[in-house]
Structure 1
Amino acid sequence: MKLSVVVVAAGSSRRFGSSKMQYVMSDGRVLLEHSLDIYESVGNIESIKITPVIVVLPPDNASLKKIVEARGAIAKDCPDSHQGMSASIKAGLSYAVSSTTNLEACLIALGDMPYVAPKTIELLINSAQPNKIIIPYQFKADGKSKNGNPVIFGKEFFPEILALQGDKGAKSVLNANPQAQCFIEVQDAGIFQDIDRPEDLKI
C-alpha cells in the first residue's frame, strides 16, 4: 500500500502577524521545520510505503522552498492559496495522485502543528485503508472526546477532496462520509495545538 503525506503550509498567517512558517524557534530553526520533523521521522511501516513528503507553499516563497527541498521533501507552490485551505489541500493531493502510481491513501497535515507526536502518526498510518478516513481523538479532562489532526483519507475520497471549495478544509468530506470514519484514540494533546498567534508557541 502506498501513502502520501501532504503538509499544508500556504496560509496567510493573518492572526499571527507575520509569516508563521518562517518564525524562528528557540533552536534557530523555523516553525515549518519542526512540523516536518514529525513526518520525516516516520519511515515505511510494515506493508505501507510512504512517499516523499509534499509541502504546499504560498507562491514565490523562495526561502521556504529552499528549506523544504534541503530536507528532501517536495515543495509545491499553490498560486490559489488566497482562496483558502481547500485550494492548498487540492494542490497537494493533486500532485500526490499525479506523481504516485497506485496511491491508496493520503495523510493531510497542517504545517502550523509542530507538537504532534511521531507515535501518533505511526498509529494513524498503521490504520490506513483505501476506503476509510482515519481520525485521531483524545479524551479531555471533562470526559468528552475531541477529534484532532492530521487525518488520513483513503483513495475512495480523493474525488470529493479534489472538488472542494472555500476555506473549510476537508471537513465537508468528513461530514459526508460518517460510515467511513475510523477513530483512533491517542494520548497526544499535540493533535489540537495549531499555532495561530505567537503566544500559542511553546518557547
Structure 2
Amino acid sequence: DYYMFAVADQPYLKSQSVIKLIDKVLENKGNMKSVFSLRCGDTVGNPCVFHSSLIPQLLSLEGDKGGRSVAKKYDCVYVDIADERELMDIDTLSNSKHTVTL
C-alpha cells in the first residue's frame, strides 16, 4: 500500500530513524494518511513514504522536481528525529567536506 523513497547519499541516516518512520506508517495505515517524512526541527528530509494512490503523480514529475512537491499537497505526517545530520545528503564534493571517512 505504501512506497518508501530513500536516497543513497545520507551517510548519517540511522536505521532506528527508518524503523521509526515505518512504525508510524503502520500505526496510521487505517487512517489513510498519504505521506510520511522524517523531520528535525524545521528541516524535513528523506526518506519519505507515499501511499500507492500517489504513484501516478510521482511518475508524472519531470526535471529536477522531487517527491516533496507531491508531499506538500497532502497532510504529511512528520516523524521527528533528534540529529539534523541524519537528513544531510552529499550531492557534491563541497558537501562532502562536512563528513568524515566512514
Fold-level similarity (TM above 0.5) = yes
Partner residue of 1:200 out of 95, 98, 102 = 98
Distance 1:188 1:114 in 2: 13
Preserved contact between residue 136 and residue 183 of structure 1 (Cα < 8 Å): yes
Name structure 2 gaps, 5 residues minimum.
none
What are structure 1's unaligned runs of at least 5 residues? Answer: 1-103, 140-144
CA distance in 2, matches of 1:155, 1:131: 11
Q: Which residue of 2 aligns with 1:187?
A: 82
- Where does residue 50 of structure 2 map in the other structure? 153
AA at the equivalent of 2:81: V
Letter of the 2:53 partner, please give it.
E
Aligned-partner Cα distance in 2 for 1:116–1:107: 14
Choose between structure 1 and 2 for higher RCO, CA contacts under 8 A separated by at least 6 residues: 2
SS in 2 for 1:122: helix
Q: Contact 2:38/2:46 (CA < 8 Å) preserved in 1? A: yes
Partner of 2:8: 111
Aligned residue type for 1:109? A
Equivalent residue in structure 1 for 2:37, among 131, 135, 138: 135
Q: 4+ residue stretches of structure 1 with deviation over 6 A? A: none
- Alignment deviations for residues 153-194 of structure 1 (CA, whole Å, 9 cap, x no partner): 1112111101111112112101222x3x10111113233211
Which secondary structure state, in structure 1, belongs to the residue aligned with residue 70 of structure 2? helix
Aligned counterpart, 2:68: 171
1:74-122 per-position Cα deviation (integer Å, ceiling 9, x unaligned): xxxxxxxxxxxxxxxxxxxxxxxxxxxxxx1111111111210110000
What is the percentage of aligned positions where both structures have the same residue?
24
The residue type paired with residue 12 of structure 2 is Y
| Equivalent-residue separation in structure 1 for 2:48 and 2:60 (angstroms) | 18
Note the 1:33-48 alignment, pairs <5 A: none
RMSD: 1.6
